[in-house]
Chains A and B, each alone.
Chain A
Amino acid sequence: MNDAVVKVDRLTKHFAGRPVVEDLSFAVRRGEILGLVGPDGAGKTTTLRILAGVLPADSGAARVADQDVIRDPEAVKSRISYMAQRFGLYEDLTVDENIRFYAELFEVAAAVREQRARELLAACGMTPFQRRLAGQLSGGMKRKLGLVCALIHTPQILLLDEPTTGVDPVSRRELWSILYSLVFQGVTVLISTAYFDEAERCHRLLLLHRGRLLFCGTPAELKGKLPGAVLSLASSEPRRLRAALAGADGVLSAMAMGDALHVVVDDPARRIPELREQLGAAGLGFGDITTMGATVEDVFAYMVSRQEAERGR
C-alpha cells in the first residue's frame, strides 16, 4: 500500500509475561475507516495506545502520519487525536467549558472553535446540554462529549477506543455520521469495538482474538469466509426444531434465537427442501425459511471454533 498513513509491522507487546499483541501487521489508507474488532482481551486497546504514542511496544515497527511512533512517540501527537476509553473530561466543568479547555490545549483559534463546537454539538444532538456539568451526563453523552473534544482540532488521524460502548443505537448513529463526514474531508479513522454488528460500518476490519490477527479485509470479504449459508426458520419453539435437526446431513451448526432457529447449512438449495421434509415428518410446524447474510459474528465464531478444534487435535 503506497498511500498508507498508518503502517504497522510485526508489532508485539507483552504484559506480565503474556502476549497481548502478537506479531501484528497491517496498513491503513488515507480516508479509510479501519475497525479493530474483537471481544474484551483481543488487544484492541493496546494496539491503539501504541499507535497514539502513549505505550511503548516490545518489538516491531509502527509509522503513523509519517512519524516513527516507536522511536519518537512525541512527534505524532500533534497530528492525531486519541480518544481513550476513559477520556479525560472534567466532571465539575460544563460541556462548553470542557470543549474550551481542549480547544486551548490544541491551540485552536477562538473563531474556528466557536463554529466547530456548534456543528459538532448539533451533529450529536447535544446542543440543549451545553451548560450541563459533564459529571451529570449519562455514559452515552459523556462518550459523545469526549468525541467533540477530540475533534475540536482537525487531526489527520483519529484513534478511537470503543467510543460506542454503552451508547444507545440512536447516539451510535450520530457518532458514525460524524465519522463519515470527517472521512469525506480526508481524515483517517482507526476505531475499536466489541460490537460485532458495528464492524459492518467500517471500510476494512482487523478481526482480533487474544492478541492475534484472525482476518484483515472488507466486511464483504470476511463474510465470504463462512462456508455455506445461514438460514432462519421462523418458529416459536426453536429449541425443539434444533433437537429434531441434530445430526442432519449438511447442517453445520444451529442456534436458537428468540423467535427463530438459525441454521448454517453447506448447500441451501439442496438442504432447504430436506429440512422441510425432516421437520414435517417430526410433526413440527414452522414459518418462513429465509436465507440470511452471514454476520461478522457468525464468521468470528466459525473461525475461532475451527482454530480451537485444530488446537484440540
Chain B
Amino acid sequence: MVEPPSILVEELVKRFGSFTAVDRVSFRIAGGEIFGLLGPNGSGKSTIIRMLCGLLTPTAGRASVVGFNVAKEPEEVRRHIGYMSQKFSLYDDLRVIENLEFFAGLYGVKGTLFKERIGWALEMAGLKGSEALLTGELAGGWKQRLALGCAVLHRPRVVFLDEPTAGVDPLSRRRFWELIHQMSADGVTVLVTTHYMDEAEYCNRLALIDAGRIVAGGSPSEIKRTAIRGDLLLVECAPLGRGLELIKRQPGVLDAAVFGAALHVVVTAAERARIELAAALASAGVEASRIEPIAPSLEDAFVALTGGHPGGSERAQ
C-alpha cells in the first residue's frame, strides 16, 4: 500500500484482569475501503471498536486512526470518526430536525456549516419534508438513514457501523448500502461490525474474529472459497431423519445437518461422496431425489471458522 492506511492495528491486546479479550490483533484498512469485522457474541469485536474510538486504552500493541494514535491522541481520533448503531444512536422523542441539531452541536458543527450540513444530511437520508416528524414514529429504514446522517454531520473520514441494517426492510437496506458505497467512493473509510451475513456481503474485505483472535481474512468470495475443508453437498431425501442418521455414519462425511427440507453435508470429496451416499441411502431404503454440490454461503464459512470449540461459540469468562 503506497498510501498510508486509514486504520492501522498492530499486535493490539486488551486484557481485563486475567481475561484476554483481544489477543494480538493486527489489520490495516485503506482509505475508502469498506471493511467488515465479523465475530460471534463475546469474540472481542466491540472491545476493538472501543479502543479504535479512543474509549478504552489498549493493554499492549498500537492502533492509529487517520494517523492519530488511539491511546495518546483520543480527542483527535474522535474528531475524525462517526459512529452509528441502528439501535442506540437516536432520541425517539425528538423530531427529525432536533436529532440532527443535537448531533451537529455535539460534533461541534458551527456557523454557516451548521445549516449546510443539516441540509445535506436531510437530502442524503431522503428526509426532506419530514423534518417535523417524531423520530420514534419513523419506519425502520428511515430511522436508520437518519442515524447515518447524524453520524456523518461533521464529515468524518472514518465511519464505524455496528449492525447497521438488522431488521430493516430489504429495499431500505439496499438503499442504505448504496449510500455507504457512495461515501466509500468519496474516500470515507467504513468499518462495519456485524454477525449478520447479509451485511458482510457488502464489505470489500472481511476479518473474522473468534476468542479475541483473527482467524481468517479476505474478500467475501475468498473466504467462501477457502474456509470450508472439503465440499458441501445438498441432499434431498425421504424420510429426512433416517437419511441424516445414516449419512452421519458414512466415511468421508465431516458434518451433516438439516437445512429446511433438505440436508447440508460436508464431505472430503464431492464426486466420490455423491456416488457413495446415493448407494448407502438406496440400500437402506431411503429415497434420495437430489444429491448435488452447492456453493458454501458466508454463514457456512463463518461457522466452519469459529464453531467447534468447547462451550459453543462463547467463552466461559
Contacts and interface: CB of A to CB of B under 8 A. Distances in A.
A234 B240 CA distance: 36
A170 B307 CA distance: 6
A102 interface: no
A71 interface: no
A68 interface: no
A40 B140 contact: yes
Interface stretch (A1-9, A151-159, A198-206, A274-282): A198-206
Interface stretch (A58-66, A76-84, A137-145, A265-273): A137-145
A184 interface: yes
Contact of A258 (B42, B140, B202): B202
A209 B169 CA distance: 9
A257 B220 contact: yes
B131 interface: no
Contact of B169 (A39, A197, A234, A239): A39
Contact of B168 (A40, A209, A305): A40
Interface residues of B, number: 54
A202 B36 CA distance: 28
Interface stretch (B1-9, B71-79, B296-304): B296-304
Given A257-B201, A258-B205, A259-B219, A40 B312 contact: no
With a 10 A CB-CB cut-off, give which of B36, B178, B312, B313 has the most chain A CB atoms: B312
A168 B205 contact: no
A180 interface: yes
A125 interface: yes
Nearest to B198: A197
B205 A169 contact: no
A301 interface: yes
A234 B261 contact: no
Contact of B297 (A140, A177, A197): A197
Interface string A170-184: 110110110010001
B312 A124 contact: yes
A167 interface: yes
A293 to B, nearest CB: 9
Interface stretch (B14-22, B115-123, B252-260, B280-288): B252-260
A309 to B, nearest CB: 12
Interface in A23-53: 38-41
Interface of B: 34, 36, 39-42, 139-141, 166-172, 174, 177-178, 181, 185, 195-198, 200-206, 219-221, 240-241, 257-261, 297, 299, 302-303, 306-307, 310-314, 316
